[in-house]
Amino acid sequence: MWRYASASVRGTSHLRAGIPCQDHAQVATIPALGPPQALIAVASDGAGSAARSDEGARAACSAFLEFSRLALDWVCRAEHLTDSFGSDVLADLRADIAALAKDQNEPISAFACTLLGALVTPDAALFVQIGDGAVVYRTAPDARWLLAARATRGEFVNETVFITRSDASRHVQAVRVNEPICEFALMTDGVEHLAIKQPQGEPHTPFLEYMTSALREVTEPGEAHAHGSWINAFLTSEPVNERTDDDKTLIIATRARCPIPR
């Protein structure tokens, strides 16, 4: 029984410049009706230098959800997804964004964005990452938080890999966890430095506990809107804005009655 909450907020630099939030996030449960047994979550960070990256991030999230739904309908379980899932979903995302770019007579680079995705079923999970940001998870309430994959950086400082790059397929990370997942979080790079200790690249447990503890107390499955509002307020707070002026997205999810790992 999954409970989840999320927020995407505009960074102070974008507020000052009148630029829309270039982050986007979506979460869906399967089945759509009744207690959620499987969860699909996705977040995307649009490139600050790309003219339509907010549209690219939105399109990437929608395409990832649709592709993941179809994949789970076909194989039913995350552990049955093939190793090519990451490259397959990238090809689908790029095709959707290329069609969007053609319709608007823009180069595909105008829609540049990263991607963080999670498909979590009762017994396994598959995490996908292209670019920066972070995906963390743990398999039991008292287990250590683990980093699913390291952020992909570019050649220069603050440079990353976007799904619109012609060589993006070389940088797809798809990590399967063949045991039950108890909790996980997806975050774009505006939150990454709060949740991941550098240079160690390890999850920062106090931050993750702070963001997750109240969600565990939610009794109803599905989206916890009040907790999402709390995350929004936290991400737009002065202490956080003093540390980063970037857009910020955080998705967190916890499972009631976490199963014991096999």
Domain ranges of the chain: 2-255
pTM for the model: 0.92
CA 207 to chain centre: 17
Torsion over CA of 188, 193, 194 and 199, rounded to 10 degrees?
Answer: 140
Contact 9, 229 (CB under 8 A): no
If one looks up domain 2-255 in CATH, what number appears? Answer: 3.60.40.10
Structure tokens at 77: 């379980």
Number of C-alpha atoms within 13 angstroms, CB side, residue 241?
A: 14
How many angstroms separate the CA atoms of 120 and 115, rounded? 16
Q: Name the pLDDT band for 261 (thresholds 50, 70, 90).
A: very low
pLDDT band per the 50, 70, 90 thresholds, residue 262: very low
Dist CA 162 CA 57 (whole Å):
10
For residue 83, pLDDT over 90 is answered with no
- Residue pLDDT, tens place only, 51-80: 899 999 999 999 999 999 888 877 666 666
Higher pLDDT, residue 69 or 183: 183
Question: Who wins on pLDDT, 38 or 254?
Answer: 254
Q: Is the dihedral of CA 74, 75, 77, 82 positive or negative?
A: negative
- The neighbour count for residue 33, using CB atoms within 10 Å, is 6
* pLDDT more than 90, % of the chain: 66
Cα distance between residue 207 and residue 199, in whole Å: 17
Predicted local distance difference test score (pLDDT) of residue 155? 56
Position 191: which residue type?
A: V
What is residue 113's DSSP assignment? Answer: B
Alpha-carbon Rg of the chain, whole angstroms? 17
Nearest to 114 by CA among 77, 50, 74, 164: 164
